[in-house]
Structure 1
Amino acid sequence: MYAKVTMMCLVAVALARPDKPAPPGGYGYAPSTPTYAPPKPSYSAPQPSYSAPAPSYEKPQEGMPFDFQYAVNDQYNGLDFDHSSNSDGKVVNGQYRVLLPDGRTQIVTYTADYNGYQAEVTYEGEAQYPEPQPYKPAPSYNAPAPSYNAPAPSYNTPAPSYNAPAPSYNTPAPSYNAPAPSYNTPAPSYNTPAPSYNAPAPTYEKPKPSYG
């Protein structure tokens, strides 16, 4: 019911607009004529107020003369290249050489001046394509650095807690005397014995001679 009432109100408002003609058959009145006109623009398109910028650069000046040369030959890592160049301040002439992964040597000879950079590229040697070797990853760790320091000694040489003991004794005094002699020199108890034998008489005679 509410939807029907809303729709009827919208239709009535649309039919009541003065800029729309009355529907056929009308309602017995003529549509009103609008009494206003759209305003005319009161401004004009702005004129450009800028000009082309002047160039902010100057004519290039001559450079400083130079001359250098260097070379690198690292057989362990497979690096071999060199570069030399010189300039009189107007024209730069140079050449660099580099060992390519395929075994050839690339040589670039160049000239640079106000007209630009011009290079000539040549190659030495013959390209080689060896069979790929199996991949061996390098170790991703390093030997750890020690994270400790040698401990400093936390003790000192102990001081002696005792003193040399004082002697508790004295030199003993002698408790004896030299004994007195208890004997006398003995008198001799014997006499010189008299001899009890005589000298024996000879029992043999002097032999007589037995020759004539």
Structure 2
Amino acid sequence: MNAKFVLLLVVVASAAAQRRPYAYRAPESSEESYESSEAKYNFNWAVSDDSSSNEFGHQEARDGDHTQGSYYVQLPDGRLQTVKYFVDGDSGYVAEVSYEGEARYPDSYESFESREYRPPRPVYG
């Protein structure tokens, strides 16, 4: 029995001694260049919910380093906010923000919603 245990111990020690230590290697260079995989896409989506009068959407197109797009959202005060933007190479993100309509704020006395917190009433059934 001791001989089997010693033999097993020798095999395990031999396997552990043959393990190669982990070494970091720099990534191998690829034949593909960055230029050959230029990004190119175009998308557009929009949502219009009549029950809540909520409208929003987004459009964007990209060809290589040049990106242009816009998005819009219906604000709670009734205005439509539109953002037009572009990115051209290293110029960074350049945006132009505009608003359509006039801001309307409900009179606090005419509002059906109260700003005070009230805990919910218990329901027993």
Q: TM-score, normalised by structure 2?
A: 0.56
**d(CA) in 2 for partners of 1:74, 1:127:** 20
The structure that is helix-richer by fraction is 2
Pair 1:93-2:64 in alignment: no
Q: 1:110 aligns with which of 81, 85, 90?
A: 85
Runs of 4+ with deviation above 4 angstroms: none
Instruction: Give the strand-richer structure, 1 or 2.
Output: 2
How far off its partner does 1:85 sit? 0.7
Question: Following the alignment from structure 1 to structure 2, what is the Cα–Cα distance between the partners of residues 134 and 81?
Answer: 26
1:67 is aligned to: 42
Residue 119 (1) aligns with residue 73 (2) = no
Structure 1 residue corresponding to 2:112, chosen from 119, 123, 134:
134
Task: Look up the equivalent residue of 2:99 and give its one-letter code.
Answer: Y
The CA deviation at 1:118 is 0.3
Aligned partner of 2:54 in structure 1 is: 79
Q: Deviations over 1:41-95 (max 9, x none)?
A: xxxxxxxxxxxxxxxxxxx756411000000111223321111110112200001
Distance of 2:38 and 2:67 partners within structure 1: 10
Aligned to 1:199: none
The one-letter code of the counterpart of 2:43 is F
Question: Whole-Å Cα distance in 1 between the matches of residues 75 and 113 of structure 2?
Answer: 21
5+ residue gaps, structure 1: 1-59, 141-212
Structure 1 length as normaliser, TM-score?
A: 0.34
Alignment correspondent of 1:154: none
Number of paired residues?
83
**Offset at 1:113?**
2.7
SS at 1:121 equivalent: strand
Instruction: Give 1:108 shift.
Output: 0.4
Aligned residue for 1:135, secondary structure, equals: coil
Structure ranking higher on relative contact order (CA contacts 8 Å, 6+ apart)? 2
3-state DSSP class of the match of 1:102?
A: coil
